[in-house]
Amino acid sequence: MTVRLEDLSSVVREAQYAVRGPIVARAQELERQGREIVYCNIGNPQALQQRPLSWVRQVLALAEYPELLERMPAGTFPDDVVATARLVLRQSGHGLGAYTDSKGMRFVREAVADFIRRRDGIAADPEAIYLTDGASKGVQTALRILVAGARDGILTPVPQYPLYSASIALLGGAQVPYQLDEGSGWRLSREALERACEGASAGGVRVRAIVVINPGNPTGAVLDEKNVEMVLGFAREHHLSVLADEVYQENVYRPGDRFVSFASALERRGIRDVSLFSFHSVSKGILGECGHRGGYFECRNVPEDVLEEITKLQSISLCANSVGQVVTYLLVRPPRPGDPSFALHEKERSGILDDLRRKAAIVADGLNAANGITCQLVAGAMYAFPRITLPPGVTDSAYCLALLEETGICVVPGSGFGQAPGTAHFRTTILPPIDRIGAVVKKIAEFHVSFCRKMTADGGR
């Protein structure tokens, strides 16, 4: 007898991950048929022509094939690239082909700790840092530590990145949604948190932790210091751990905004009774090295015996991939002023960041220009999550499918992220190239108007 769908665990069957769901499957089908598809469903910068940073790729080439160090003509690579490749080879002990420590290579964890110290002016412990295959794997590990049964609840934002709902579902835990306030730029309010907690307690759920995504995915909102401190105060009162998804920390666009890490706020207030897990990645920010699956999570106020359990969990899959670990090193230890690579690195970095900033504005402005679309400011991250007014009886899924069929633009329905009842949204990335993003947004806006007109005329059938 072969394995049958009905024998699968219900948690597997019920887990959903819309970012790569049925609409994306249809897009791939159309692409195979020869249609040109613009993939705005996923934050995958290099799939939309963002170029990798030379610094990262030069070091990787040398670390993969150290004989190049001997065989290439002098001057092929800048001196700091050569020195860094040699350092990676020496510090890794055995190059990129060996399993590393379960936690990840020690010298990379030390560099991450140093990065946190420089970023936040606080101490950091390399032994509380775990290198992971992208941030996703780290989130799954932290949730595994926090969810022990069906009554263990995790506060997750609405809208949220569906990694959280899917992972909580797979662990058999309870998702406890809290609503972000769209009207005030997707603000995170204490009242919404209290409301969600009360509802969970009434249902017999013990809330264990709160997830905060900052800058927000899919919302694009950036938390200020007061917001971050409010969450920590809330967590303290309610005996919660905090999962801080900070993978977009470099993606802050609005003048005057700045990224405030949960670690810095925790240390500034001297909080010792809230466990914090914070996540970072090489996939977002300026690098956009999604394919390399690099990232880390840092634990604060997590007891030694729990850290040992985390290490054990990491060890069962042996270790994160070594190349992703090295990319993480290159993320946290970029060229410094005076280094031979510094000027090119700065030029590439600021080029990417300026493009993202301009694209964030083009997307929000262009969508707001359409009647029936309202888009909050994209202050950070890589997405817009506009609200759409739909004719009666039309779902956001049907809308996104029609958009795909008509324009070749692939976005994800708001229902995949969660949204207030009676509202409809979609998520689009801001990542198409700067010379095309305007046309993409214009197409979406035009589609919206014609689709709504047509469906209203059809009576929504």
* Interface of this chain with its own copies, residues 173 to 232, rule: CB under 8 A: 208
Interacting positions 127-146 with its own copies (CB under 8 A):
133-134, 136-137, 140, 144-146
* Sign of torsion over alpha carbons 12, 17, 22, 24: negative
With contact defined as beta carbons under 8 Å apart, do 86 and 311 qualify? no
Residue 121 or 303: the one with the smaller Cβ distance to its own copies is 303
Question: Cα–Cα distance between 384 and 256 in angstroms, integer?
Answer: 20
Min. distance of Cβ 2 from its own copies in angstroms?
A: 4
Please state the length of the chain: 461
Residue 207 or 441: the one with the smaller Cβ distance to its own copies is 207
305 binds its own copies (CB under 8 A): yes
Structure tokens at 93: 């002990």
* CA-only gyration radius of the chain, Å: 23
Give the closest residue to 215 by CA, choosing from 311, 279, 146, 304.
279
Residue 176 or 373: the one with the smaller Cβ distance to its own copies is 176
With contact defined as beta carbons under 8 Å apart, do 99 and 318 qualify? yes
Give the Å distances, CA to CA, from 396 to 11, 30, 404, 423.
25, 20, 12, 9
Residue 146 or 400: the one with the smaller Cβ distance to its own copies is 146
The single residue among 185, 291, 372, 438 that binds its own copies, judged by CB under 8 A, is 291
Question: Cα–Cα distance between 12 and 8 in angstroms, integer?
Answer: 7
With contact defined as beta carbons under 8 Å apart, do 127 and 154 qualify? no
163 binds its own copies (CB under 8 A): yes
Residue 34 or 256: the one with the smaller Cβ distance to its own copies is 34
147 binds its own copies (CB under 8 A): yes
Question: Cα–Cα distance between 44 and 37 in angstroms, integer?
Answer: 14
Residue 106 or 119: the one with the smaller Cβ distance to its own copies is 106
Interacting positions 42-101 with its own copies (CB under 8 A):
42, 44-47, 52, 54, 57-58, 60-62, 64-65, 67-68, 71-73, 76, 93-101
33 binds its own copies (CB under 8 A): no
Q: What is residue 41's DSSP assignment?
A: S
317 binds its own copies (CB under 8 A): yes
109 binds its own copies (CB under 8 A): no
Residue 317 or 450: the one with the smaller Cβ distance to its own copies is 317
Interacting positions 229-288 with its own copies (CB under 8 A):
239, 241, 272-275, 283, 288
Kindly determine how many residues on this chain lie close enough to bind its own copies according to the rule CB under 8 A: 94
Q: What is residue 374's DSSP assignment?
A: E
Question: Cα–Cα distance between 188 and 207 in angstroms, integer?
Answer: 18
Min. distance of Cβ 20 from its own copies in angstroms?
A: 4
Residue 114 or 309: the one with the smaller Cβ distance to its own copies is 309
Interacting positions 359-418 with its own copies (CB under 8 A):
none
> 3-class DSSP state for residue 290?
helix
Min. distance of Cβ 299 from its own copies in angstroms?
A: 9
With contact defined as beta carbons under 8 Å apart, do 441 and 366 qualify? yes
